Structure 1
Amino acid sequence: MIRKLNRKDHRVVFSFLKQEPSLNLFIIGDIEAFGYEQEFQELWGDFDEDGALRAVLLRFYDSYIPYAPGEFDIEGFAKIMRNTAHSVRLSGKTDLVAAFEPLLPLGKKRVTYFCECNEIIFPEVESRYEIKQATINDVDRIIELRSRIAEFSVLPSSRDMLVKSLETNTGRTYYIEEDGRMVSSVSTTAENTLSAMVVGVCTDPNDRQKGYASEIMKRVIQDYIRSGKTLCLFYDNPSAGRIYKRLGFSDIGMWTMYG
């Protein structure tokens, strides 16, 4: 049986999601930050005939993330997502979301490695660059930097989501600037009591090969690991993967995004 989840389900839901806390960091983070009763966020649970929770589906704005460690009502979740007017923006563990491919109008598919970092393995020395932490006043500069980079697709909702993450302390952005111009930044999102996701690792094309992003990543790792949190990230570029692994990340699975 599938039904909407609410605050009364919280203890059961969190116990269920903590089976794989890193893979569920988006769902955990969004529940901790926004709860169960927001216009932009909904959660559904699939319960077996004994009343045990066996799957969860999150809608955050126009994106969906399912989680299930075993069998569940795939068609039931697909029916909920088909109510979306356009192609469904779906993401999750690769083997799980692949089951939805024949059931939904999905967008472009991207498969990435999913990795996590739980310790600081590099020498902790002072950076040769001044690394700053962004505030709400820096949002437009962050978006402007990302828009200068061909690999980034800056969506209409990107600014609103960045503002919301800073306002609710569910994400941070660190950056380096030269002559008052932001040249490199690294953001986190879905920050919760257990973990956070690294996103938006970017450097202006005219300022690459200077080690900016690596220096910012070290600062991000230090801040989060010292506070007892796991850092996670996606990558699909083997060269980037080697850099992340030198900084202490290790692969824990595959993640697919459609949209």
Structure 2
Amino acid sequence: MIRELNEKDLDQCLLFVKEKPAENLFIIGDVEAFGFNEEFQDLWADVDPTGKFKAVMLRYRENYIIYAPGEYDAAGFAALIARDKQPGKMISGIAGIVNQLLAHMPIQPVKSKELFYAKCEALQEMNVPDVEIKQAAVEDVPKIIKLYSQIPEFDKQDDRADGLIRNMEEGVSRCYYIEDGNQMVSSAMTTAENSMSAMVIGVCTLDAYKKKGYATACMMRLCAELLEEGKYLCLFYNNPEAGTIYKKLGFEDIGKWVMHTY
């Protein structure tokens, strides 16, 4: 049976999703940050006759994320999503979980994307250059934006600066970087930090400074700090070369993460 969750379900919901803190990074973060009483967020669970959770689905604005360790009422969740008529709906999650639901959706997605999803529970030491690595403050955001604007793989976002400032002030993002003079040349950042896990993003180096181990050094500093705090790390990647570097640091593939837009 699928039912909508409320504040009374907080402990059971978090206990269920925290069994897999990397896989459920976004659900944990949004539940901890916004709870059950915001109009832009809803949560449902597939519950067995004994009251045990079989699956949880989060709606954050137009984004749906589903988690289930086994079989669940995919048709029931698909019906809930189909009733939402807002445009640009996205269904995300581990491929094997989401695929059960897609078979019951009444229409096909207009766009789909698939990425490797990896997590790190213990860091593997690597030789890195002896350079100064700094932690960014809010006043460094313009330098971060300038660095990102020079990385072809990164999407251009007009409101990125506002988002970075907000996330850093709220404590859900942190960034480590290397600079040459007053120019930021390499960085690694987190987003969606919660009590259990964090997403690594923004791993990059300017072309003129590549092959020096700068990005690896930033990653090691960032990952070591978060692991020391008891947090799991996770990241997306679609470049096998980048995946090789991440695995040397201690990341392991969880599976594929899919995003389907309707």
Percent identity, please: 45
1:6–1:144 Cα change, 3 Å: farther
Aligned length: 258
Question: Is residue 201–residue 213 contact of structure 1 (8 Å, CA) maintained in 2?
Answer: yes
Question: Is residue 33–residue 168 contact of structure 1 (8 Å, CA) maintained in 2?
Answer: no
Question: Is residue 143–residue 154 contact of structure 1 (8 Å, CA) maintained in 2?
Answer: no
Q: 1:52: Cα distance to partner?
A: 2.9
Q: 1:123: Cα distance to partner?
A: 5.4
Question: Is residue 88–residue 106 contact of structure 1 (8 Å, CA) maintained in 2?
Answer: no
Tell me if 1:133 matches 2:135: yes
Residue ranges of structure 2 left out of the alignment (5+ in a row): none
Question: Is residue 90–residue 106 contact of structure 1 (8 Å, CA) maintained in 2?
Answer: no
Tell me if 1:81 matches 2:81: yes
**Match of 2:198?**
196
**Match of 1:217?**
219
Measured in 1, the distance between the counterparts of 2:160 and 2:102 equals 26
Q: Which runs of 4+ in 1 moved over 6 A?
A: none
Q: 1:223: Cα distance to partner?
A: 0.7
Tell me if 1:10 matches 2:10: yes
Q: CA RMSD in A?
A: 2.5
- Equivalent AA in structure 1 for residue 71 of structure 2: E
1:76–1:155 Cα change, 3 Å: farther
1:163–1:48 Cα change, 3 Å: farther
1:16–1:183 Cα change, 3 Å: same
Residue ranges of structure 1 left out of the alignment (5+ in a row): none
**Match of 1:118?**
121
Measured in 2, the distance between the counterparts of 1:22 and 1:32 equals 15
- Equivalent AA in structure 1 for residue 86 of structure 2: A
1:3-82 map, 5 Å: 3-82=3-82
- Normalising by structure 2, report the TM-score: 0.86
- Normalising by structure 1, report the TM-score: 0.86
What SS does the aligned partner of 2:254 have? strand
1:224-243 map, 5 Å: 224-243=226-245
What SS does the aligned partner of 1:22 have? coil
**Match of 1:91?**
92
1:80–1:165 Cα change, 3 Å: farther
1:169-208 map, 5 Å: 169-208=171-210
Render the CA deviation track for 1:62-84: whole Å, top value 9, x for unaligned: 32211112233323323443425
Q: 1:240: Cα distance to partner?
A: 0.8
Measured in 1, the distance between the counterparts of 2:203 and 2:40 equals 26
**Match of 2:152?**
150
